[in-house]
Amino acid sequence: MIRRVLPHGMGRGRLTRRPGTRRGGFSLDWDGKVSEIKKKIKSILPGRSCDLLQDTSHLPPEHSDVVIVGGGVLGLSVAYWLKKLESRRGAIRVLVVERDHTYSQASTGLSVGGICQQFSLPENIQLSLFSASFLRNINEYLAVVDAPPLDLQFNPSGYLLLASEKDAAAMESNVKVQRQEGAKVSLMSPDQLRNKFPWINTEGVALASYGMEDEGWFDPWCLLQGLRRKVQSLGVLFCQGEVTRFLSSSQRMLTTDDKAVVLKRIHEVHVKMDRSLEYQPVECAIVINAAGAWSSQIAALAGIGEGPPGTLQGTKLPVEPRKRDVYVWHCPQGPGLETPLVADTSGAYFRREGLGSNYLGGRSPTEQEEPDPANLEVDHDFFQDKVWPHLALRVPAFETLKVQSAWAGYYDYNTFDQNGVVGPHPLVVNMYFATGFSGHGLQQAPGVGRAVAEMVLKGRFQTINLSPFLFTRFYLGEKIQENNII
Amino acid sequence: MAAPWASLRLVAPMWNGRIRGIHRLGGAVAPEGNQKKKRTILQFLTNYFYDVEALRDYLLQREMYKVHEKNRFRDKEWIRPDKYGHFSQEFWNFCEVPVEAVDASDCDINYEGLDNLLRLKELQSLSLQRCSHVDDWCLSRLYPLADSLQELSLAGCPRVSERGLACLHHLQNLRRLDISDLPAVSNPGLTQILVEEMLPNCKVVGVDWAEGLKSGPEEQPQDTASPVPA
């Protein structure tokens, strides 16, 4: 008896295999493909302009799953972790859009490059601890075949924060939190301080906290280039262009209290090429705002903040550029090789640079003294009047110093509470933020990148819980103030 | 070789007087008269009898063992691994004894591995010579040993640079620091000076202070007074 073998799956209620489909893949979008092919054939025929032979290599691709606006250390860190944590190789297509490939105004390259764990928020401490271990093992994380290993030039000399009488209690409680999270910080009295660092004048200092391990400074440019190299090898596309427009679709929905809420979803990003009117619409699923000092402009393009003030629609992204100057000086009798990055009670800070008695430092101006962020010109009078006197008071050897050079850079300053903004926007549902770190973005970039990638891929924070850093806190008014901002 | 060794144990006391004579053969001390005579007899015997050569080898071994015994760290012997790389079981008897010196030369110890060394609160001497994974991050971990560490050697570590040496200033009890042959240090002479300033009670060895100084002008300065030959 010949058994009739039924064709697999036919009439059994299982997945039927239609001709032309592969098992486990998507069915080919025949209708869309056919219309595209028709368009191409029409353009080849005589009488039409031939679009096929135009060079589009400088343009970004037409489709990308994730578009990262901003190619600084935060943007590249998000790209890296997206590629590291994707479920299978090549699952996510990532495009990084950077306006200026020379990074002439980007905060990353102009940064002093410090990393420290002496924060008051546990999340900040955890981020810095993770970043320290990332930097320590950077050649395992960012290894590229046949490329030389990275030398970050890390100086493990630590941070020394000085506190006056009124800040001493806050510093003690901060150090307690830091020790609980696992940072190695020691508290020192003025006598111990004088013993260890004889060049310090402890007048006005009640307490000092000194980071013993995993703190110091490194070369941010090297980290940026290392990330760029690795991320390119993982298949992330780069584009030099400026984001000028978001096309989004809205959906009006009702909340449980029957209030109308408009949810927006960005589905296209217009990337304009440099010095030209040409632009490319990039279809995307997710947009990451890592534009640093210019994040609020990108947020405004997406319609964040357009609405009556006091509502969620009317809450703008409170990140603005703030200019900060860094001065380099030479002082032959200055503090020796063991000098940590010293942050004075007045807010002035300095550290050694190299072997040759050069130091660099600066001071954050008060709210009234804030310089105009329109350009990156250095204000030398600020050094004379507001920085040097404090330095000379704290380190008498600095009474004779000679300024060699200076530069200025931007902080992506969060005017709300000087802490970063991480995670999705509640209304523009596919825009994720990774910005606003107000001067400590570089040292937290690896941790933040991983957190944003987890949020995008898994929907929640898995390793470090950054929920206090979500956008909604601006609307709810929940400030998470970080006290130790240099 | 068993039989000759057994007989030698009986023979050795008899030859006691001659032993010193044999050792002096290689030494710079002038032998005395009667020992000279004994030495020539021995030499004669050595040339003709194999057994005497074996005796000589045995005595040489004894001498080497004595030299080995002298190789102690402040009257305590080093505990070394045997030829298979294993430590003897007697090591476990020393659980309560504080470790004073660790020689981790040519070892693959890394940042996480230093956890084990940092718990030794009475460590006086640490040698990390030619450890290929010891870098600046590892040096920043050494501060818990500040109370006891007196001697540290980092000679030949390829990843240690002057930035890591800067965090050795915590080790205020250090009396001897060896920083020779560090290829990653950019300016060895200047680094040595800065490290010496940083650790005033410590003897820093390893870099010849003339290193990094340029050699004197190669050419003599032109004699400007001499007239240009016509």
- The C-alpha atoms of residue A180 and residue A169 are separated, in whole angstroms, by 17
Q: Can you give the pLDDT at residue B18? A: 47
Could you give the count of Cα atoms lying within 13 Å of B56 in the half-sphere of its Cβ?
18
pLDDT for residue A21 is more than 60: no
The answer to whether the beta carbons of residues A480 and A414 sit under 8 Å apart is: no
**Phi and psi torsions of A272, nearest 5°:** -95, 140
Interface contact B193, partner A, CB < 8 A: no
Residue, of B80 and B169, whose pLDDT is higher: B169
Residue-wise pLDDT for B203-216, tens only, equals: 999 877 665 566 66
Residue, of A148 and B78, whose pLDDT is higher: A148
Given B136, B186, B187, which is nearest A156 (Cβ)?
A: B136
Q: Can you give the pLDDT at residue B138? A: 93
* Chain A CA closest to residue B169: A338
Q: Can you give the pLDDT at residue A433? A: 96
**What are the E-state strand segments in B78-189?**
101-103, 125-127, 151-153, 176-178
| pLDDT (mean) for A11-35 | 58
Question: Which among A137, A199, A337 is the top mutation candidate for probing chain B, defined by the most B β-carbons within 10 Å of its own β-carbon?
Answer: A337
Q: Can you give the pLDDT at residue A52? A: 62
- The C-alpha atoms of residue A443 and residue A114 are separated, in whole angstroms, by 7
Say whether B190 and A355 touch across the interface (CB within 8 A).
Answer: yes
- Taking any CB pair shorter than 8 Å as contact, residues of chain A touching chain B are 136, 153-158, 212-214, 216, 336-338, 355-356
Locate the domains of chain A by residue range: 57-154+216-318+415-485, 159-211
Q: Can you give the pLDDT at residue B99? A: 83
Q: Can you give the pLDDT at residue A322? A: 94
Q: Can you give the pLDDT at residue A10? A: 45
| SS3 assignment for A106-164 | CCCCCCCCEECCCCCCHHHHHHHHHHHHHHHCHHHHCCCCCCCCCCCCCECCCEEEEEC
Q: Which of A51-65, B135-149, B195-209 has the lowest mean pLDDT?
A: A51-65
Report the gap between the CA of B199 and the closest CA in chain A (Å).
10
Look up the CATH architecture of domain A57-154+216-318+415-485: 3-Layer(bba) Sandwich (3.50)
Report the gap between the CA of A84 and the closest CA in chain B (Å).
24
| pLDDT (mean) for B78-103 | 79
At residue B16 the predicted structure's pLDDT band, cuts being 50, 70 and 90, is very low
At residue A289 the predicted structure's pLDDT band, cuts being 50, 70 and 90, is very high
pLDDT for residue A49 is more than 60: yes
Say whether B163 and A212 touch across the interface (CB within 8 A).
Answer: no
At residue A28 the predicted structure's pLDDT band, cuts being 50, 70 and 90, is low
Say whether B198 and A338 touch across the interface (CB within 8 A).
Answer: yes
At residue B22 the predicted structure's pLDDT band, cuts being 50, 70 and 90, is very low
Percent of chain A with pLDDT over 70: 92
What global pTM score does this model have? 0.80
Residue, of A353 and B218, whose pLDDT is higher: A353
Distances, alpha carbon A336 to alpha carbons A193, A353, A358, B7, in Å: 15, 11, 10, 68
Report the gap between the CA of A139 and the closest CA in chain B (Å).
13
Q: Where are the alpha helices (DSSP H) in A182-288?
A: 190-196, 220-233
Say whether B163 and A153 touch across the interface (CB within 8 A).
Answer: yes
Report the gap between the CA of A359 and the closest CA in chain B (Å).
15
At residue B75 the predicted structure's pLDDT band, cuts being 50, 70 and 90, is low
pLDDT for residue B30 is more than 50: no
Say whether B141 and A213 touch across the interface (CB within 8 A).
Answer: yes
Say whether B111 and A338 touch across the interface (CB within 8 A).
Answer: no
Given B111, B166, B186, which is nearest A155 (Cβ)?
A: B166
Chain A residues whose beta carbon lies within 8 Å of the beta carbon of residue B160: none
* Chain B CA closest to residue A357: B194
Paired tokens of A137:
């093992």
Residue-wise pLDDT for A218-251, tens only, equals: 999 999 999 999 999 999 999 999 999 999 999 9
Residue-wise pLDDT for A384-443, tens only, equals: 999 999 999 999 999 999 999 999 999 999 999 999 999 999 999 999 999 999 999 999
Could you give the count of Cα atoms lying within 13 Å of A183 in the half-sphere of its Cβ?
34
Paired tokens of B80:
């070394």
- The C-alpha atoms of residue A181 and residue A399 are separated, in whole angstroms, by 39
Chain A residues whose beta carbon lies within 8 Å of the beta carbon of residue B194: 336-337, 355
Q: Which of A445-449, B44-48, B220-224 has the lowest mean pLDDT?
A: B220-224
Q: Other CB atoms closer than 10 Å to residue A75's CB: what's the count? A: 29
Residue-wise pLDDT for A318-365, tens only, equals: 999 999 999 999 999 999 999 999 999 999 999 999 898 999 999 988
pLDDT for residue B76 is more than 60: yes
The mean pLDDT value of chain B amounts to 75
At residue B31 the predicted structure's pLDDT band, cuts being 50, 70 and 90, is very low
Residue-wise pLDDT for A372-385, tens only, equals: 989 899 999 999 99
Question: Which among B112, B118, B137 is the top mutation candidate for probing chain A, defined by the most A β-carbons within 10 Å of its own β-carbon?
Answer: B137
Q: Where are the alpha helices (DSSP H) in A272-418?
A: 295-301, 380-382, 388-394
* Chain B CA closest to residue A135: B137
The answer to whether the beta carbons of residues A435 and A442 sit under 8 Å apart is: no
- The C-alpha atoms of residue A130 and residue A466 are separated, in whole angstroms, by 13
Interface contact B165, partner A, CB < 8 A: yes
Say whether B137 and A156 touch across the interface (CB within 8 A).
Answer: yes
β-sheet bridge partners, residue A261: A253
Residue, of B35 and A242, whose pLDDT is higher: A242
Report the gap between the CA of A340 and the closest CA in chain B (Å).
9
pLDDT for residue B54 is more than 50: yes
Q: Can you give the pLDDT at residue B207? A: 77
Chain B residues whose beta carbon lies within 8 Å of the beta carbon of residue A157: 163, 166-167
At residue B29 the predicted structure's pLDDT band, cuts being 50, 70 and 90, is very low
CATH topology of domain B41-205: 3.80.10
Question: Which among A355, A357, A358, A359 is the top mutation candidate for probing chain B, defined by the most B β-carbons within 10 Å of its own β-carbon?
Answer: A355
At residue B72 the predicted structure's pLDDT band, cuts being 50, 70 and 90, is low
Say whether A216 and B198 touch across the interface (CB within 8 A).
Answer: no
Locate the domains of chain B by residue range: 41-205
The answer to whether the beta carbons of residues B202 and B176 sit under 8 Å apart is: yes
The mean pLDDT value of chain A amounts to 90
Q: Can you give the pLDDT at residue A51? A: 59
Q: Can you give the pLDDT at residue A43? A: 73
Report the gap between the CA of B104 and the closest CA in chain A (Å).
22
Paired tokens of B58:
């045995």
Q: Can you give the pLDDT at residue B120? A: 87
Interface A-B, measured as beta-carbon pairs within 8 A, has a size of 53
Q: Can you give the pLDDT at residue A425? A: 95
Given B163, B186, B191, which is nearest A156 (Cβ)?
A: B163
Contacts of A296 (CB under 8 A, 6+ apart): A316, A317, A318, A319, A320
| pLDDT (mean) for A449-466 | 95
Residue, of B33 and A294, whose pLDDT is higher: A294
- The C-alpha atoms of residue B190 and residue B208 are separated, in whole angstroms, by 11
Q: Can you give the pLDDT at residue B37? A: 67
The answer to whether the beta carbons of residues A439 and A411 sit under 8 Å apart is: yes
Interface contact B8, partner A, CB < 8 A: no
Q: Can you give the pLDDT at residue A227? A: 96
At residue A287 the predicted structure's pLDDT band, cuts being 50, 70 and 90, is very high
Chain A residues whose beta carbon lies within 8 Å of the beta carbon of residue B164: 156
Say whether A337 and B140 touch across the interface (CB within 8 A).
Answer: no
Report the gap between the CA of A396 and the closest CA in chain B (Å).
18
pLDDT for residue B25 is more than 50: no
pLDDT for residue B108 is more than 70: yes
Chain B residues whose beta carbon lies within 8 Å of the beta carbon of residue A154: 136-137, 163
Q: Other CB atoms closer than 10 Å to residue A111's CB: what's the count? A: 25
Say whether A156 and B167 touch across the interface (CB within 8 A).
Answer: yes
* Chain A CA closest to residue B137: A156
At residue B116 the predicted structure's pLDDT band, cuts being 50, 70 and 90, is confident
pLDDT for residue A11 is more than 50: no
Given A212, A216, A356, which is nearest B143 (Cβ)?
A: A212
Paired tokens of A130:
């993770």
* Chain A CA closest to residue B195: A337
- The C-alpha atoms of residue A93 and residue B94 are separated, in whole angstroms, by 60
Q: Can you give the pLDDT at residue B52? A: 67
**Phi and psi torsions of B188, nearest 5°:** -60, -40
Report the gap between the CA of A126 and the closest CA in chain B (Å).
19
